Copies of this chain bind each other. A is one copy, B any other.
């Protein structure tokens, strides 16, 4: 029997972390299923933005580098993220973008495997990961670095002693399918391969134990499930055991051991500070830093538990709605094989997504035919899910839809 709004309310009543929704400012009446693309603003983020601009920059101006610890912001923000990914202190720093950080990390990873040159990745990895590796190949020449990519199902077969670095994204951005980080890392290590994980769609929503899983390097995103604001800086994880064995290539003054000595020769800072290049975007980073405070009140296990429940509830409602049959799930059926999203293919996915948005259910469309729904447990309720399904059903049974009357609309990115 199809669950009802009463059931949704009951789930919300039983939800141990339902109150966290109050820490976010979701526009009234909107159901936001796009936290995997850009997380919404939290009260703490908003306060931090005001504070860093008015109090810190406004009143204390240059003295804020010490007075408000701007100089330590990349490390302090990194350490907050470390707690979410199972990293002991001293291994995470917040800086730059994933693309820039991957460039640094891939070059470091190659240094750890000097007699090999292949970077193995996945055909449908998030494109920037492939572009960065391709860029590195062009700079170094194919004799020093060659990007090879394989189908998802063929990755494990390709783990040979010819491969220098394995570069994978934990959660596929399109269908949400997860890799088993621990298992693949172990298999790669057995072949002497250094492993780099992109956690863009994992951090803040999936349990991660990078130290325990013996991961070498990782990067991740500040603006998705961490809700750090548009284009929030990214982060780097570098296992402690490697930190004296490489020098990152994008050398800048902020990564110098003594930046304010302004000495002519570069001498890399100890530890994670060497990953800094130029001056970090303090305003954006302060907002991310504050956004992370929401995680003080909840464990990733609780978040994951609720995410699975939200997705199961959505699937249960969908399966009991014959009008939604044409939406084909392309995410794994089993919740332990996917991240915090459900993706459906449909020939009219673009128009369906536009109609959802017009009806206050914010989803996103991915080429060529994918309706992608993100489940961010910090601010979504079971009633939200019920409303989203009701809207979706209403669109699929509307006269205009049935008559294929959708107007072509400007593509929303």
B27 touches A130 (CB 8 A): no
A412 touches B63 (CB 8 A): yes
Q: Is A356 an interface residue (CB 8 A)?
A: no
A231 touches B287 (CB 8 A): no
User: In the complex, which of the residues B63, B232, B367 contacts A357, with contact meaning CB atoms closer than 8 Å?
Assistant: B63
**A253-B127, A256-B131, A278-B96 given as contacts; is B38 within 8 A of A46 (CB)?**
no
Q: Is A98 an interface residue (CB 8 A)?
A: yes
**A249-B139, A362-B61 given as contacts; is B100 within 8 A of A279 (CB)?**
no
**A37-B62, A97-B279, A278-B100 given as contacts; is B367 within 8 A of A261 (CB)?**
yes
B264 touches A130 (CB 8 A): yes
Q: Which of A281-299 contact B (CB under 8 A)?
A: 281-285, 287
For A46-73 the 0/1 string (1 means CB < 8 A from B) is 1001101110111111111110001100
Q: How far, in whole Å, are A60 and B357 apart by their CA atoms in the complex? A: 11
User: In the complex, which of the residues B52, B66, B231 contacts A280, with contact meaning CB atoms closer than 8 Å?
Assistant: B231
**A96-B100, A100-B250, A412-B63 given as contacts; is B264 within 8 A of A127 (CB)?**
yes
CB of A392, distance to nearest CB on chain B (Å): 18
B278 touches A127 (CB 8 A): no
A264 touches B123 (CB 8 A): yes
- Name 21 interchain pairs, CB-CB below 8 A, sorted by A: A37-B62, A40-B58, A40-B61, A41-B57, A49-B49, A50-B50, A57-B229, A62-B412, A66-B410, A97-B277, A100-B252, A127-B256, A128-B252, A128-B253, A135-B266, A139-B249, A230-B282, A231-B281, A232-B281, A232-B283, A261-B367
8 closest A-B pairs by beta carbon, nearest first, are A97-B278, A99-B252, A230-B282, A135-B251, A99-B278, A281-B284, A128-B253, A281-B281
